[in-house]
Structure 1
Amino acid sequence: MSGRHRGARRHTGAGMAWRQFAADPWVSVGLALLVAVVSVLLTAVPRALQDVNDRQLAQDVGGLSALQRDVTGRWSTTVEVPAPPGVDPWVPFEEGAAKVRAGQPEPLRSLLQEAQMYARATTAVEHVPDEDSGYYGAEVAVHADPHLAEHVEIVDGTLPGPWGGPEADASGEAGAEGGRVVGPDGAPGEGDAGDGVPVVVLEEAAEELLWEVGDRVGPLVVAGTYRPLEPDDPRWQHVDNGVRMGVLFDPNRGQAALVTAFVDPGSRGYLGQPTAVRHELWFPVDPDAASGTGVDVGLVRRQLTGMLAQQHTLVESGDPALGPIEADQTPAFATELTDTLDQVVRQQRATSSLLAVVAAGPLGVALAVVGLAARLVVQRRRPSVALVLARGASPRQLRRLAVVEGLAVGVPAAVLGHVLARVLLPGGAGWQEWLVTAAVAAAPAVALAASVDDASLLQTRRDLSRRSSSRWRWVVEAAVVALAGLATWRLLDRGSRGDDPGTSGVDLLAAATPVLLALAACVVALRLYPVPLAALTRVLRGRRSLTPFLGAARALRDPAGGLVPTLAVVLGTTIALVSAVLLTTVTRGAEAAAWQANGAAVRVNGPVLTDELVGQLAGLDGVAAVARVADIGTTQELFVDGERTPLRILVADPALEQVLGAGSPAPGPPPQLYADEGAIPLVTGGDAPAQVGPATLGGADGQVQVVGHLAELPGVQTPGSWALMDADRWAELGRRLPTARSALVSTTEGADPGAVADAVQDLVGTGVVTTVQEELDSFTSAPVTTGLTRAFVGATVLTGLLTVLAVVVVQLMGTAARSRLLAVLRTLGLRPGQTRALAAWELGPVLATSLVVGAVLGLVVPWVLVRAVDLTGLTGGRSQPPLAVDPLVVGAVLAAVALTVLTAVTVSAWLAGRTNLAQALRVGEDS
């Protein structure tokens, strides 16, 4: 082969691409790093969001008791006779429950575990125990549990077996004909059937009530005692007093015992005569299964609603397992899980929308810098590319070569970023993730191919006119501003139109509106900043110093900025302020919700709060005031202007004024409620009329004055329509004060609410004592709170770093023209310090304008989002929190952003000031 042919072989497209890359590899390497960053972002953000949602769902569902989260069905029937020998009456019920579960769609079917059930006699057995027990009475609830033997250990005696004795009369006395108790293995058990229905009771209850095996308890006889194998098993929450004996306190008589007794499962609660029983069947919900990766909470909520709305027949009438008078066994299912799922759906909706807003900042800047870096790659190769064009290469060939180089840079970087994100955030991954990664991998190729058209030997000056050379610029800018205005209007007007933003996923309108506002702000900034800059140029023209005038003139006629650095600074400032303001808003909203839910620093629920006990509570160290709130227990009629409203009356101690006074974070009743003279005041609440004025309560002798209205009373579960009165004024109407079981406790200044709560708990014993701090600690440690905080901080930091990079890349793009100018000026005597100042002027005005526009936008966007996105799922409150702007936080964020922009300008000016005079003045060096 001749040398000519060998030379031709060396000048292939691949060879030329490699030589261009080897001559200036750093920009291409930087482009690859940017692609990897974008790939990591687009892969990690959805995974992080899913992880936060899954952990929050597990916490919310796990925080519910089994009674609250399980899907429970109840129905009543009458058991005429026990099941025939050898027939298990529970099999048809279990088969029917299995069919109900199998008929549910996924993922609901997987969330519902195998059904469990029991039957309970609707009438409890009353018994007077031995005086030595210390209990004045005992109430025994009779249960039949088909799987009792699997969950208990017999301590004494045996499990109750099938009972074959005669029917009892209405009083429960045994007949004359004898029968016997048979154990599980067929051996004779304890006692005689004629002595009563054999049952097994809790060991603790037998010890407390001094019962022994064989003792008669009304129509029952104790056949044995048991101990739960797993007392913490959630199934026991469905069985009242199955794990520990209940105690009912009567201030006049003492204590009464609440006991659960289990009969033979085959009897289904039959007690010797037709027995009215209530069946309960429940599908346990496993919190771990409910929080599996990728669970669509909105879909589960809809499926669960459909299940609860349907009628499910477990066993049809005529089944041999049923008695002759039993009809279809059709339970009515219910669960409190739906309310939690509604809360989670709102929470996920708000979280997704807010994360989409903050993620748009770094993502938008990163994509803009990717395009800018692609232009920089082509621009630095302009002389060689233009020479190849002049020697006969077609633009199509160069674009193909650019596409190949872009794929060679983008594909490995995008795949590396994707894999890195999956390693950092493992979990289930859908094939859609790879589509996003493929689009990111193709971005450099598209950007390089589009930038090839800029390469030409013809160099034109852009500083001869301030008018844009593009005829479509005004059209595009007008379209962006119009879209931003339309999106904002549609978002803010959503409530009045009644539009539903959806039940799950990202609120696209709420996520897109801030981005459109940022683009519109960039358009405004680019159009407005030349106006003051032109005036400044005219002022500086007459001064002796060259640098300010020349810098202002270059910034006006040939700005190094443009859309990319403007967008970077606007988005960086906006995202930083949006993150700070939204975090402040959500945090203060959660604090307000915690105070509204608890009512006071400490709240007590449960025991009977007598005057003596309240006095003891008020005497504890750190307690400022104690106010009881009680429901009178009956519905009263309130007449306002002839309109009758049935409502419940709540009465509160006068100390409520101190607990919910002006200094309380929870809004309380107006001061007029505590007036000692004049018409008896009351405050309406909930759905009751909000009209202030004279009214009548429950008759002509009940003249009252409505002095205010509250949506809800802090710390108290209020009914739909209610009214609050001072307890002393309620007594003036001649009404009896109800027994109070709830109290709000305020603390003195400097006291530790936790220590006060511990002292209150020690005093009240069995009551439930809660504090506001517990609610706030739960909010702070919640996965959604920590996830949002990290996302906001991470987005702010990453956007700041990308902003610095965007400014530096923009300065590098203008290196050639700037170097020629600075070289001439340096030759004429311009000092290095003046050189750096001149370079800083190129970006200073537009970045300063962008900083101001971004600051304004950073306060406008949260204002829009708070009015459009439901944040109650994040705060836990019932009402939307108001926008909270902390001047100190906003000032610190703006100072940090300004320092970041100043750093970017300083670095770019330093790089621009390192001008090589000889190289810049040399003509024809590149060929």
Structure 2
Amino acid sequence: MRPGDALLLDAPGDALPLPQFTVVVTGIFRPVDGTDDYWAADPLILAPARAPTGDGGLRRLATALVAEDGYGALTGAFAGAGAPPPSSRPEVSGALTHAWRFVWDADRLQAADAAVLTAAVGRVQTAGTALAPFPVRVSTGLADLLDTHARAVAVTRSLDSVAYAGIAALAVLSMSLTVLVGTSQRRDRLRLVRARGASLTQVSLLLAAQTLAWVVPGAVVALVVAWVLVPDGGSPVPLLLAAATVVLPLLVVPWAVRAETRALHGPPARGRLHPAARLAPELAVLALTVLGVLALRRRGLAQAGQGGVDPYAALVPTLVALAVGLVVLRLYPYPIRWAASALARGSGLTAFLGTARAARARPASALPLLVLLLAVALSVFAGTVLSTVTGEQSRAAWRAVGADLRVDDPALTAEQVAALEAAAGVTAVVPAYRDAAGSVGPLRPVTVLGADPAAFASLLAGTPLTVDLPDLGGGGGRDDPLPAAVSTAVRADAALGTAGRLIRLDPRAAVPALQRGATAGEVLVLVPLADLAAVTGGGVEPTAVLVDLDGALGGGAGGDGRAGDPGADGNAESRVEALLGPSASRDVTSREEVRAAVADAPLPAHLRRAYGGTVVLAAGYSVVSVALLLALGAAERRAAISRLRTMGMRARDVRRLPAWEVLPLTVAALLPGVAVGLALPALLGPALDLAPFTGGPAEPPLRPDPLVTVALCLLVAGAAAIAVVLDAARGRRANLSSALRIGDQS
């Protein structure tokens, strides 16, 4: 096309009946930046395209720009041609649609602006004639986008709250255990202060002040670093969690001081504390857990009408783990005593001694068990969420594309199909006809897919869209009914509406597996492409190509990077364009790019970081809890080991003793922790919808991955092993004579 060319224009078949008229091309323009979002609203401005007509043919579509002073001539061409009457202004034609487009800058939009923008869009949509003296129709996809964003943010906050509550509980338990260890190591000094007349309150305040002197500076530094790295917008939640982590463990100080100085005042009077009173806290935790589970399944995690998260509901998964931990603690002594008695009959000393010491462990050893159990439960739950999101992202990408690569073009030629088939990295090519506006009897819209059934099934074998198709042979005649596989049952005499025709259908079978490649509620009809072309007299040509890849199209990294080499650019559209040439009517969709676009979006990426960090922190707290457990009984263990060494115990057996002390506790925490982690998705499933992170249908089921679960269990067990190794390394430096004097009274 050149300046001076005359074009004869007519209206599309589905538009108003307008006369043909001629326009003269006065100039050709080229965009400064063809990739700018401005051009996305109407791609035909940059290049013409061909579109199918109702009778199976093709028509050319293009968008032309008219100068302002040519507007009168354009409206005059519509005069007297059956166009709607003009508006109150005579220079405005009723046959034209006048549009004003407002572009928003997504880069400047922040989460805090979403509510303001939602309210503004709502006011514009309901303004009606208040916007102008003539009828105005407002069209925007921004409202749905903002609603989707709001739901996604709400789900993200819910998932975050579960992880943060669990990590905060781990921190509180670990800090409490640290207080107990510190109190135990100060036992002699505390007894001396108490013997000189200090009250329990005075000693507790002194110890709490010493603890705060070490903890508060570290907490302040951590908060400052966190606020610098992740600005929270003024939310008080991080400050409250930090304060709880520092303050709650101090409540253990009076109990720890009383336990360590009890020898000065003798044992407590018998009958002072009724057994039911000792059970009261545990029963309270169990009651809170049951009530929380019931409320969570009924109301969800969000606070009604406030857009936030219910703190009590967010604590329910943690309460479930703690409640199971309390039950395990009640049952824990019985199998340990049985194991110790069984090992006593064996010839080995280390296993028996370690198990016996574990059975006689202090009450404070309950905290490491709770930490390990909660860490395992959180890790397994986080792994289930991440594996579900990853799997659903992959399935959604397969559902959206239907192959590794799909090329849609109504003007597709046989030469282009052959070029794709011959390209490096391509293992299979399936030409297909696709009509998303078809019908089967009263069902509409129906997606009609014409392809070779055997090639189509082979392409999808081993993918989430795997399908077993019935025999679709026997057609092929112009007057024969068209054999078809349908995703849902249809009448045997139903007619297929596609390509502007009604075609007799021969539904061979209902194949629900076809629904995997369609959206919810969509009906998909698969027919042999050759038979469809024969029935329509050659009026149907392939409009899409499904491509199976082995690597990247054009050779991927193996490309030499030359201009025109499809392997020189990582973008699938540019690779196809380099292979087939440019086309404005072509749409290239890559399964991997669709998956990556969802996975790399801000909210899914945040979820991946948050729950990956949860797993790492859980493993870290496991190391800390086991190390503190070993430190809690380190003095008694070193004294026992030193005496055993003087009686001939080998150093190799000595190094194994801490492992045997920790092993029963680790096993007792690992198995129930895995059970809790696998049960949490069933408890939280109705309250969570991972669809905002997957790009797929709503409320996908949470599927635990066995390999991920085993790997996370090994991670926590490995963390406990690291703590044992560190304790053993510290024990090697202990002096035998000094260890023998530990605990001696002067």
Q: Which TM class, normalised by the smaller chain length? A: 0.7 to 0.9
- Pick closer, same or farther for the CA change 1:526–1:255 going to 2, 3 Å: closer
- Pick closer, same or farther for the CA change 1:537–1:239 going to 2, 3 Å: closer
| Corresponding residue SS for 1:630 | strand
Q: How does 1:773-852 map to 2 (within 5 A)?
A: 773-815=592-634, 817-818=636-637, 837-852=656-671
C-alpha separation in 1, matches of 2:226 and 2:436: 59
Q: Aligned letter for 2:390?
A: T
C-alpha separation in 2, matches of 1:456 and 1:793: 43
TM-score by length of 1: 0.63
Residues 469 and 485, structure 2, Cα contact 8 Å, conserved in 1: no
Q: Which residue of the other structure, out of 584, 589, 599, is the alignment partner of 2:392?
A: 589
Shift of 1:605: 2.0
C-alpha separation in 1, matches of 2:596 and 2:305: 31
C-alpha separation in 2, matches of 1:312 and 1:264: 30
Shift of 1:261: 0.5
| Corresponding residue SS for 2:474 | coil
Residue aligning to 2:380: 577
Q: Which residue of the other structure, out of 650, 668, 681, is the alignment partner of 2:448?
A: 650
Unaligned runs of 5+ in 1: 1-128, 142-169, 174-195, 209-225, 317-327, 639-643
| Corresponding residue SS for 2:130 | coil
- Larger Rg: 1 or 2? 1
The alignment status of 1:458 with 2:276, answered yes or no, reads: no
Q: Which residue of the other structure, out of 132, 141, 151, is the alignment partner of 1:336?
A: 141
Bigger strand fraction: 1
C-alpha separation in 1, matches of 2:655 and 2:264: 25
C-alpha separation in 1, matches of 2:283 and 2:515: 51
| Corresponding residue SS for 1:279 | coil
C-alpha separation in 1, matches of 2:467 and 2:152: 30
Shift of 1:663: 0.9
Residue aligning to 2:112: 295
Q: Percent identity?
A: 27
| Corresponding residue SS for 1:259 | coil
Bigger helix fraction: 2
Shift of 1:397: 3.1
C-alpha separation in 2, matches of 1:471 and 1:666: 55
The alignment status of 1:372 with 2:177, answered yes or no, reads: yes
Shift of 1:600: 1.3
C-alpha separation in 2, matches of 1:703 and 1:241: 36
C-alpha separation in 2, matches of 1:745 and 1:544: 66
Q: Deviations over 1:621-667 (max 9, x none)?
A: 5352322223286x6462xxxxx545446241325743665515252
Q: Deviations over 1:446-475 (max 9, x none)?
A: 44455444342526999xx9xx98644434
Q: How does 1:350-365 map to 2 (within 5 A)?
A: 350-365=155-170
Shift of 1:715: 7.1
TM-score by length of 2: 0.76
C-alpha separation in 2, matches of 1:784 and 1:909: 43
Residue aligning to 1:13: none
Residue aligning to 1:137: 8
The alignment status of 1:409 with 2:214, answered yes or no, reads: yes
The alignment status of 1:307 with 2:127, answered yes or no, reads: no
Residues 372 and 625, structure 2, Cα contact 8 Å, conserved in 1: no
Relative CO higher for 1 or 2, CA cutoff 8 Å, sep ≥ 6? 2
Residue aligning to 1:628: 432
Residue aligning to 2:559: none
Shift of 1:132: 8.1
C-alpha separation in 1, matches of 2:134 and 2:513: 42
The alignment status of 1:566 with 2:369, answered yes or no, reads: yes
Q: Which residue of the other structure, out of 902, 905, 924, is the alignment partner of 2:724?
A: 905
Residue aligning to 1:609: 412
C-alpha separation in 2, matches of 1:846 and 1:172: 87
- Pick closer, same or farther for the CA change 1:746–1:692 going to 2, 3 Å: same
| Corresponding residue SS for 2:492 | strand
Q: How does 1:12-91 map to 2 (within 5 A)?
A: none
| Corresponding residue SS for 2:337 | helix
C-alpha separation in 2, matches of 1:460 and 1:553: 29
- Pick closer, same or farther for the CA change 1:786–1:624 going to 2, 3 Å: same
Q: Which residue of the other structure, out of 532, 536, 540, is the alignment partner of 2:335?
A: 532
Residues 348 and 504, structure 1, Cα contact 8 Å, conserved in 2: no
Q: Aligned letter for 1:275?
A: S
- Pick closer, same or farther for the CA change 1:448–1:867 going to 2, 3 Å: same
Q: Aligned letter for 2:123?
A: M
Q: Which residue of the other structure, out of 866, 869, 873, is the alignment partner of 2:688?
A: 869
- Pick closer, same or farther for the CA change 1:502–1:529 going to 2, 3 Å: farther
C-alpha separation in 1, matches of 2:282 and 2:614: 27
- Pick closer, same or farther for the CA change 1:830–1:741 going to 2, 3 Å: closer
Shift of 1:378: 2.9
Unaligned runs of 5+ in 2: 13-17, 77-89, 557-565
C-alpha separation in 1, matches of 2:210 and 2:490: 76
The alignment status of 1:557 with 2:428, answered yes or no, reads: no
Residues 552 and 841, structure 1, Cα contact 8 Å, conserved in 2: yes
C-alpha separation in 2, matches of 1:476 and 1:329: 71
C-alpha separation in 1, matches of 2:33 and 2:419: 38
C-alpha separation in 2, matches of 1:649 and 1:808: 61
Residues 457 and 467, structure 2, Cα contact 8 Å, conserved in 1: no
- Pick closer, same or farther for the CA change 1:507–1:346 going to 2, 3 Å: farther
Residue aligning to 1:394: 199
Q: Aligned letter for 1:725?
A: V
Residues 601 and 747, structure 1, Cα contact 8 Å, conserved in 2: yes
Q: Aligned letter for 1:869?
A: L
Residue aligning to 2:93: 275
| Corresponding residue SS for 2:222 | helix
| Corresponding residue SS for 1:261 | coil
- Pick closer, same or farther for the CA change 1:274–1:881 going to 2, 3 Å: closer
- Pick closer, same or farther for the CA change 1:478–1:656 going to 2, 3 Å: farther
The alignment status of 1:263 with 2:68, answered yes or no, reads: yes
Q: CA RMSD in A?
A: 4.8
C-alpha separation in 1, matches of 2:329 and 2:58: 84
Q: Which residue of the other structure, out of 640, 663, 667, is the alignment partner of 2:465?
A: 667
Residues 180 and 253, structure 2, Cα contact 8 Å, conserved in 1: yes
Q: How does 1:213-232 map to 2 (within 5 A)?
A: none
The alignment status of 1:519 with 2:322, answered yes or no, reads: yes
Residues 139 and 259, structure 1, Cα contact 8 Å, conserved in 2: no
C-alpha separation in 1, matches of 2:453 and 2:672: 51
C-alpha separation in 1, matches of 2:369 and 2:331: 12
C-alpha separation in 1, matches of 2:627 and 2:174: 10
The alignment status of 1:206 with 2:26, answered yes or no, reads: yes
Shift of 1:565: 0.9
Q: Deviations over 1:254-291 (max 9, x none)?
A: 9675412032599898657662143323443210232x
